[in-house]
Amino acid sequence: MKKQDSKSNSAPIEESGLMNLFKDELKDIYWAEKHLAKALPKMAKGATSEELRSSIEQHLTETENQISRLEQVFELLGVKAAGKKCEAMEGLVEEGKTMLEETEDGSMTRDAAIISSAQKIEHYEIASYGTLKTLANTLGMSEAASLLEQTLNEEKNTDVKLTQIAEGFVNESAGAEKE
């Protein structure tokens, strides 16, 4: 890697490759969150336990907030909020739909499937917001970094909560169900 030891040959930060990467990643997660907001009600509706259903509904409210936070980040950048198709989220949501179809309505196996798919989604979001927060800090955008960190923490908490639900009762009850 070439060492950059002079400021004269470095691009202004607004035009840097890293800034472009930051904007692209922002558009990706903006599309992903909006896509997810449309899918979450179906996941909640498909849940067997009240606990899982209400957790997903609560995360839908958080997701709507996260979309507003992203719009604030776009505003800080002085660019119009716009999404760019996230193929990963499209695939994760698609896989979640298939898992719903392949498990019996009213079963705890259904809940175990929803939790599995929801956690894969949360992990994608955790990776995305972790990267975005780091990029924002590197680019000297501390206000954006703090907005992205708030969302990162919500995604992490959601993941922990899903694990607690699975370990609390879902997996054990599902284990007693017939195929």
Q: Which residues bind Fe ion (CB under 5 A)?
A: 28, 63, 66, 86, 88, 125, 155
Alpha helix stretches (DSSP H) within 47-107: 50-77, 87-101
> 46 or 129, CB closer to Fe ion?
129
The CA angle 60-62-63, to the nearest 5 degrees, is 60
> 10 or 164, CB closer to Fe ion?
164
Query: Whole-number minimum distance, CB 121 to Fe ion, in Å?
Result: 6
Query: Whole-number minimum distance, CB 111 to Fe ion, in Å?
Result: 18
Residues 146, 132 contacting (CB under 8 angstroms):
no
The CA angle 146-148-150, to the nearest 5 degrees, is 70
Query: Whole-number minimum distance, CB 124 to Fe ion, in Å?
Result: 7
> Largest Cα–Cα distance of the chain, in whole Å?
69
> 9 or 132, CB closer to Fe ion?
132
